[in-house]
């Protein structure tokens, strides 16, 4: 709104050439959070407030209960079907909301009141099951995640990439701190492409193979296209695929990792800057030119064809990408697996579906 206001002001002053500042407006979707609640019986019992386990409330459909939001940091396994308050969590809740200091908390296995488990379960077994649902992340629901806490544990780049990885930019997305572990593991895998377990830089100056160039240029194409579509979550997904594929090679080549670092820089700027300098550069990675796509590496030289006998898959074979159907048919009939399943039978027909499959009909 402010950018549009200032742009229109500058347009009226004749200082910018266009009336509108943007060709398209994309609004970021709302980040949703887990809301944890406990059930409070609306009428007091013997003069005391009574809270009940979610399972007891579910078994009492005619009961008159109010849902009371609970700060998620009090809840164990929050966001899961088995989220609960233990004795420690209930004590935190009472300290946070002292009006309920004398309340009792009922579960199928026992009752808790005034710091004591009055019956049933032991302290270690006592669990008041909470109600978990996805809703707006807000202070009134006591489910706001402090980004400083996440950054302190995982780092800024991990936090940044996870927010992008959650889903399409314009969609609402539920926040789940547990899911950030996947991005954190990816960053550690990426780091190990560059460094040994002892922290030594292990980059090779050798010429990469065509397979390595193919992985790089697939990544360039995917990231380039997805940035244009504002699809950042799919960029992160492809980085993960590329890193996993590169890890299958014994040596990591500088000619592959340099452009990969540039591709990564808009998504993990601090990590990319560090890796860029470790690769021997004195200027910032953010001043480097975007890698150029070479489509020739994306053209497959060989294609894997499933080999079926009477429609049932019996194996697979690599064929040259430019092989004709006749050449594929002739080679397929010479395969040991085909001879095994056609021995003593007559080959009625060979069906070659280009780039898809080979089916041999026998009778």
Phi, psi of 38 (to 5 degrees): -120, 160
Last residue of a domain, one of 253, 275, 296: 296
| 26 assigned to some structural domain | no
- Same domain for 55 and 120, yes or no, is yes
CATH code (residue 289): 1.10.730.10
Are the C-beta atoms of 128 and 37 separated by less than 8 Å? no
- Same domain for 57 and 98, yes or no, is yes
| 213 assigned to some structural domain | yes
pLDDT band (50, 70, 90) for residue 27: confident
* pLDDT > 80? residue 119: no
Paired strand residues for 111: 106, 119
Query: Whole-angstrom Cα distance, residue 363 to residue 115?
Result: 80
Share of the chain above pLDDT 70, in %: 99
Residue 99, exposed/middle/buried by CB under 10 A (0-12, 13-18, 19+)? exposed
| 132 assigned to some structural domain | yes
- Same domain for 207 and 277, yes or no, is yes
- Smallest CA-to-CA distance from 157 within 127, 129, 191 is with 191
* pLDDT > 80? residue 300: no
Query: Whole-angstrom Cα distance, residue 171 to residue 62?
Result: 37
CATH code (residue 350): 3.10.20.590
Q: What's the whole-number mean pLDDT along residues 95-116?
A: 91
Q: Mean pLDDT for the chain?
A: 92
Q: What is the pLDDT of residue 205?
A: 94
Q: For 224-278, what is each residue's pLDDT tens digit?
A: 999 999 999 999 999 999 999 999 999 999 999 999 999 999 999 999 999 999 9
| 187 assigned to some structural domain | yes
| 3 assigned to some structural domain | no
- Smallest CA-to-CA distance from 268 within 159, 185, 193, 145 is with 159
- Same domain for 274 and 184, yes or no, is yes
* pLDDT > 70? residue 120: no
- Same domain for 121 and 205, yes or no, is no
Q: What is the pLDDT of residue 330?
A: 92
- Same domain for 118 and 195, yes or no, is no
- Same domain for 127 and 39, yes or no, is yes
- Same domain for 43 and 120, yes or no, is yes
pLDDT band (50, 70, 90) for residue 121: low
- Same domain for 264 and 314, yes or no, is no
Tell whether pTM > 0.75: no
| 126 assigned to some structural domain | yes
- Same domain for 289 and 350, yes or no, is no
- Smallest CA-to-CA distance from 88 within 32, 128, 36 is with 128
Q: What is the pLDDT of residue 81?
A: 86
Q: For 51-97, what is each residue's pLDDT tens digit?
A: 999 999 999 888 899 999 999 999 999 888 889 999 999 999 999 99
**Structural domain boundaries enclosing 91:** 31-136
| 20 assigned to some structural domain | no
Report the range of poorest mean pLDDT among 43-47, 177-181, 304-308, 322-326. Answer: 177-181
- Same domain for 87 and 116, yes or no, is yes
Paired strand residues for 350: 360
Q: What's the whole-number mean pLDDT along residues 173-200?
A: 90
- Same domain for 121 and 208, yes or no, is no
Last residue of a domain, one of 249, 270, 296: 296
Query: Whole-angstrom Cα distance, residue 302 to residue 334?
Result: 18
Residue 230, C-beta contacts closer than 8 angstroms, at least 6 positions apart: 26, 169, 170
| 223 assigned to some structural domain | yes
Q: What domain count does the chain have? A: 3
């Amino acid at each position: 709104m402010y950018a549009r206001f200032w742009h229109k002001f500058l347009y009226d002053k004749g200082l910018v050439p266009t009336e509108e500042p943007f060709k398209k407006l994309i609004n970021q979707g709302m980040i949703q959070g887990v809301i944890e609640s406990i059930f409070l019986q609306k009428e007091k019992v013997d003069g005391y407030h009574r809270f009940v386990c979610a399972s007891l409330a579910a078994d009492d459909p005619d009961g008159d209960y109010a849902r009371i939001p609970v700060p998620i940091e009090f809840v164990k396994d929050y966001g899961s079907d088995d989220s609960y308050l233990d004795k420690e969590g209930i004590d935190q809740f009472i300290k946070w909301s002292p009006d309920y200091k004398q309340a009792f908390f009922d579960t199928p296995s026992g009752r808790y009141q005034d710091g004591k488990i009055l019956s049933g379960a032991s302290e270690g077994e006592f669990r008041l099951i909470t109600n978990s649902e996805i809703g707006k992340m807000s202070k009134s629901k006591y489910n706001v995640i402090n980004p400083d806490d996440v950054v302190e544990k995982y780092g800024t780049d991990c936090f940044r990439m996870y927010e992008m990885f959650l889903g399409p930019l314009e969609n609402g997305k539920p926040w789940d701190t547990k899911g950030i572990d996947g991005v954190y593991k990816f960053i550690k895998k990426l780091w190990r492409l560059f460094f040994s377990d002892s922290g030594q830089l292990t980059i090779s100056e050798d010429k990469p193979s065509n397979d390595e160039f193919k992985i790089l240029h697939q990544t360039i194409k995917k990231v380039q296209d997805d940035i244009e579509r504002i699809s950042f979550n799919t960029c992160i997904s492809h980085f993960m695929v590329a890193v996993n594929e590169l890890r299958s090679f014994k040596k990591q080549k500088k000619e592959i990792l340099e452009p990969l670092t540039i591709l990564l820089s808009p998504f993990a700027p601090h990590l990319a800057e560090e890796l860029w300098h470790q690769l021997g550069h004195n200027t910032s990675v953010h001043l480097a030119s975007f890698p150029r796509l070479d489509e020739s590496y994306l053209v497959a030289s060989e294609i894997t064809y499933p080999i079926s006998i009477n429609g049932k898959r019996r194996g697979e074979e690599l064929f040259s990408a430019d092989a004709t159907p006749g050449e594929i048919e002739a080679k397929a009939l010479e395969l040991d697996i085909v001879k095994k399943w056609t021995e003593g039978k007559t080959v009625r027909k060979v069906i070659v579906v280009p780039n898809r499959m080979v089916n041999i009909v026998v009778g």
